[in-house]
Chains A and B, each alone.
Chain A
Amino acid sequence: MHGHIYPDPAYHILHQVFQLATDNASTAMCRWTHGRVTLSLDRVDELPLESVATALEVGDELLTMVILTIDGEDNGQLIITFDELNGRRLAASLLHRDVCTEPEWTSLEMSALNETGNILGCAYLGALTHLVSAELVPSPPYFVQDFGASVLEQALMSQALTEDKVLVCRTGFHRDGENLNWNVIFVPGAALREKLESAVSMAE
């Protein structure tokens, strides 16, 4: 489902921009997981604020997430979402252990997911840095278990201050060719969104 309202050329270029970021992240992720996990761009859209959570299928369920924030003027948020089982499977495969069945996540499991976020986030934002000519440095990754929509809401806050439609990008994961219930959601802040859009309009 694509609800974008950009003119087609601009949408096409924005799509290419996020495709490049996704490809960079996919290469890094593939190395990190010994070739098993790759990423593909799912959607780039400008959506009405009230329908973002539904459109991105970030409902009212509890999710395991790793969050990287870009602070400063060109702010933004990169959120990697996992359901409980798949998050634990990834941690177990990275740690070469059996999947943990304790309700509480161990610090080692959290660290494995955070490191995944770090590798993926740096590769993703590195690609965007080239485009906008501004250094996008992510914060240390932050592990959180919360309702997905409440975290997404916070990520949307910068754009919500001035807009009623927000630019979001979602990327999906695949392991050994199968779709996984993991996603990367990238939400640029208002200033970064503007930079992305002007870089796109110059390229048109």
Chain B
Amino acid sequence: MGVVTASTGHASLVGMGESVLLRGEDTARSVVGSCIGLVLYHRRAKVAAMSHIVLPEAAGRPGLPGKFADTAIPYMIDQLAKEGAHTSGLVAILAGGARMFGKPGPLQIGETNAAAVTAAIENLGITIRGTSIGGGKGRRLSFDCATGALTVEVAGESPQVL
């Protein structure tokens, strides 16, 4: 569990710190609060990787590659490259980074997470196709590799397709 897995037509649930690789008709779901759900998608190859990023940087801490922004993104790119999906054809979609319960405090890492992921993606020259960032509520994410659509649901609001 927790590593990129090859799947075909499967529905994956992406837990905290996990990354999954999706092809063809695969779908993936995740629920994020202050974490970031990041999708890197190659439209022509119909391949994508999705990570549930918990913290901005590893700094020697234990965890799966998908747990930290600075390890998740290189890992996803590496896995996608093995599938023939190179960085130049990728787009990024990201959602999450909420300030849960509307409270301040050292554990409110949402904004820092969003900034770290955005900066890393921009540094790689990958186009950010859509974002749903911030606020004070969780998000339910569903990604469909066949269409490249990431559906974002927030409690009490209409779903948004990115």
Q: Which residues of A contact B (CB under 8 A)?
A: 48-54, 59-60, 62, 67, 69, 71, 75, 142, 144-151, 153-154, 156-158, 160-164
Contact = CB atoms under 8 A, between A and B. Distances in A.
B54 A60 contact: no
A160 B54 contact: yes
Contacts of B17: 49-50, 164
A153 B138 CA distance: 10
B153 to A, nearest CB: 8
A152 to B, nearest CB: 8
Interface stretch (B28-36, B74-82, B116-124, B126-134): B28-36
Interface residues of B, number: 35
Contact of B155 (A62, A154, A158, A164): A62
B24 interface: no
Contact of B107 (A145, A147, A154, A163): A154
A50 B18 contact: yes
B98 interface: yes
B33 A150 contact: yes
A54 B13 contact: yes
Nearest to A67: B101
Nearest to B31: A149
A158 B107 contact: yes
Nearest to A139: B103
Nearest to B137: A146
